[in-house]
Amino acid sequence: MEPCLTKKEISTAYGRVRRETERLINGLSPEDCQIQSMPDASPTKWHLAHTTWFFETFILLKHQSKYSVVDKHYAVLFNSYYNAIGKQFNRPKRGLLSRPSLEKVMEYRAIIDARMIEFIDQLSDGDPLLMLIQLGLNHEQQHQELILTDIKHALSQNPALPGLLSHYEHQDRQASDYRWFEFQGGLVTAGASQSGFSFDNERPNHQTFIAPFKLANRTVSNREYLAFINDGGYQNSLHWLSDGWTFVQNDDINSPLYWHQQAGEWFRYTLSGLQPLNMNEPVCHVSFFEASAYASWAKKRLPTEFEWELAATQTNPTIPEFNAMMLEPSIVEDSSLDSMFGGVWEWTTSSYLAYPGFKPFSGDAGAYNGKFMSGQFVLRGGSCFTPTGHIRSSYRNFFYPPQRWQMSGIRLAEDLT
């Protein structure tokens, strides 16, 4: 990895990202920050500590002589999946970690922040460690999004359906008319460029062939998805993949996650509490199985990740790179397609696999992405929960087909014949 930001830019970005993480928990109590509602999610307190552990473990401990860790137990408590570093506490039981307290975790963050700012100040422009710190900041931005999706799932388990963070989930917009845009495809270059930051799973850029296709100008709305429900979509096995049919039958699923029907009316749970279903908003919190079934019902299909990237690149050519976006809020210009960035993550039919010539990050960070390339599907585009500065056309998110607690939605495609 080669650094693409100066020492001053990294220092500024470090402070901004770390402050933003702490701003996310405004309105949450220590009890809120403690709970874990399912094995896939983590307590807010754990996210706060883990992102701090990342900087202490991969930067300070590795690259400062005679470094003394804040607490030796944190090496196990807040290690997520880095087997080369050591053991990890059982992920599904993170909610049992009542100690350290939230107050202690915030003290931990303050201590590491002071040490990191001092450490960055001692580096020179061009030092490879700047890129490792930049990786750590992108890692923390990923956890910022997880903080919101995880606490949303946790609060949704409360029968009172509380709303505390109303400023983080608001997509009140009119759905534009449905239109289709044609792309001729051909032999195209996909993946991240050499300039700017990217994760290892976005590289290297490479050539791939795309057949001519059409892509919808926007994602599927709640109104359109409700038509699928009302037409018996969840009861018609013909639209479902075999594993998807088993999934909805076994779990008695008949609507997207967080939808509630009361007295014949539909509502959706949000971070501002239970709200009447806005028919014009993008449908979200659907699994790959549900997205695939809806596409079958609509007599369309989901796009591949390369079709999605081609369309995003051709219609949003001015999406800034990370090194500009991380320091200032981004502005995405309008295009013929409604914005493909920052509404909902969009499922694709592409399995999450390595690109030709893939090389993981060097050193301990090599476990970052490659080890998850099995059984998952790629999502593209980012959501309203994705932090400013963390969206680009080559970004590859990935989840297992049944998972739906993320802000995942649907954009349709079809072959151009």
Span 282-328, pLDDT tens digits: 999 999 999 999 999 999 999 999 999 999 998 765 443 333 223 22
Q: Is residue 329 part of a domain?
A: yes
Residue 157: per-residue pLDDT: 97
Check residue 321 and give its pLDDT: 34
* More confidently predicted of 176 and 88: 88
Neighbours of 364 (CB within 10 A): 15
Phi, psi of 380 (to 5 degrees): -130, 155
Structure tokens at 42: 């983590």
> In degrees to the nearest 10, what's the CA dihedral of 28, 31, 34, 35?
-100
Largest CA distance in the chain: 66
Q: Flag whether pLDDT at 368 surpasses 80.
A: no
Residues 228 and 121 in one domain: no
Query: Is residue 186 located within the same domain as residue 148?
Result: no
116 and 28 part of one domain: yes
Residues 182 and 153 in one domain: no
Distance CA(275)–CA(273), nearest Å, equals 6
Per-residue tokens: 307: 């079709």
In a domain, 35, yes or no: yes
Instruction: Report the domain count for the chain.
Output: 2
Say whether both 158 and 179 belong to one domain. Answer: no
The domain that holds 154 is classified in CATH as 1.20.120
Predicted confidence at residue 177, as pLDDT, reads 84
Placement of tokens 């060097």 in the chain: 362
Residue 164: the pLDDT is 77
Residue 1 lies in a domain: no
Query: 411: domain range?
Result: 169-417
Do residues 154 and 251 share a domain? no
Amino acid at 237: S
Q: In terms of domains, do 336 and 386 share one?
A: yes
Region 115-124: mean pLDDT is: 97
Q: Are 154 and 175 in a shared domain?
A: no
Question: Is residue 238 in some structural domain?
Answer: yes
Q: pLDDT tens digit string along 179-214?
A: 999 999 999 999 998 778 999 999 999 999 999 999
Contact 403, 200 (CB under 8 A): no
Is 138 in the same domain as 214? Answer: no
Q: Is residue 2 part of a domain?
A: no
Phi and psi (nearest 5°) for 278? -80, 110
* Mean of pLDDT over the chain: 90
Last residue of a domain, one of 162, 179, 195: 162
**Single residue among 110, 127, 162 that ends a domain in this structure:** 162
pLDDT above 70 for 334: no
Same domain for 253 and 118: no
Closest by Cα among 107, 85, 81 to 94: 81
**CATH code of the domain in which 276 resides:** 3.90.1580.10
Domain match, 158 and 175 both? no
> Two tokens at 96?
């049992």
| Per-residue pLDDT band at 83 (split at 50, 70, 90) | confident
- The torsion of the CA quartet 8, 9, 12, 15, rounded to 10 degrees, works out to -110
The Cα 53–Cα 49 span in angstroms is 6
pLDDT band at 223 (very low <50, low <70, confident <90, very high): very high
pTM of the full structure? 0.93
CA distances from 344 to 52, 93, 169, 359 (A): 28, 29, 11, 29
My answer on whether 366 and 230 are in the same domain is yes
pLDDT score, position 226: 98
Last residue of a domain, one of 162, 184, 219: 162
